[in-house]
Amino acid sequence: MIGLVTSLLGGGFVWLWERAKKAQAVNRRAAFFGVRPGETCLIVLGNKHDAPGTAHYRDVRAVVELTLLIGELGCKAAVEPGAFRGGNDDRTEFCVGGPAGGANLRTGGHLAAHLPGVTVHPYDGTRPESVAIEVGGEKFLFDRGNQEYALVAKFTPAESSRPVFVVCGQSSVTNLAAVHYLRREYAHVAERLPSVDRFCLLIKVTDIGTYEYHRATLERDVTASAFGR
């Protein structure tokens, strides 16, 4: 009898420990992405730069990944187009797509209002700076299909109670790559950040012709340069 009781107690402690460990991991993940279980998150999806009113299928896949992530964290998602206006208020916002060519006007507004150290150069097929992401005076050029970048930033507007999570890629490939990478590697990335409450990261995507969006790495933390003037 004593052995049975000891075994039951031991099994109960193990179950409680595993449950606490799982809850801790979920809480860390939720803190990184800035969501709270039970809330409705806002996803803002940009257009194809050359086709207003339509979205690239990779951007739609990025939204699907975000929706799955949000669902895993006990939240619901509402999707709005890039022309959405107004604050995010008490909803965590995920804004997907860069502003070049008018693809996502809301991203451009977020960058102008909150990340003064960031410039996304306009699309111009004749110039090497076309769609380049410039942070703190350093340019990260767009080499289509070979090496591309995405800027990922998290911040909380003064008028809002919940954060904004911006995914600003140079293409739909990099938008999807950034979401896919952070969904898998958020814990590794979080360990390298001074704070998960506000940050700006540069994600590099390489060998796109072979691996498409699957070969993404953290290029660097550009928080100080992005939020500085």
Highest mean pLDDT among 3-17, 20-34, 96-110, 157-171: 157-171
pLDDT over 50 (residue 20): no
Instruction: Show Cβ contacts of residue 218 under 8 Å, excluding neighbours closer than 6 positions.
Output: 181, 185, 189, 192, 201, 202, 203, 204
Using a pLDDT cut of 70, give the percent of the chain over it.
86
- Residue 148 has phi, psi (to 5 degrees) of -135, 165
- Compute the mean pLDDT over every residue in the chain, rounded to the nearest whole number: 89
The residue type at 136: G
> Which of 22-26, 97-101, 213-217 is predicted least confidently?
22-26
pLDDT over 60 (residue 23): no
pLDDT class of 17 with cuts at 50, 70, 90: very low
The residue type at 19: R
Mean pLDDT confidence for 173-190? 97
Q: What is the pLDDT of residue 124?
A: 84
> Which of 44-53, 116-125, 137-146 is predicted least confidently?
44-53
The number of residues making up the chain comes to: 229
Mean pLDDT confidence for 158-183? 96
**CA separation for the pair 152, 62 (Å, rounded):** 13
Topology (CATH) of 2-227: Chitobiase; domain 2 (3.30.379)
* Global confidence as pTM: 0.88
Mean pLDDT confidence for 110-129? 92
pLDDT over 60 (residue 5): no
pLDDT over 60 (residue 19): no
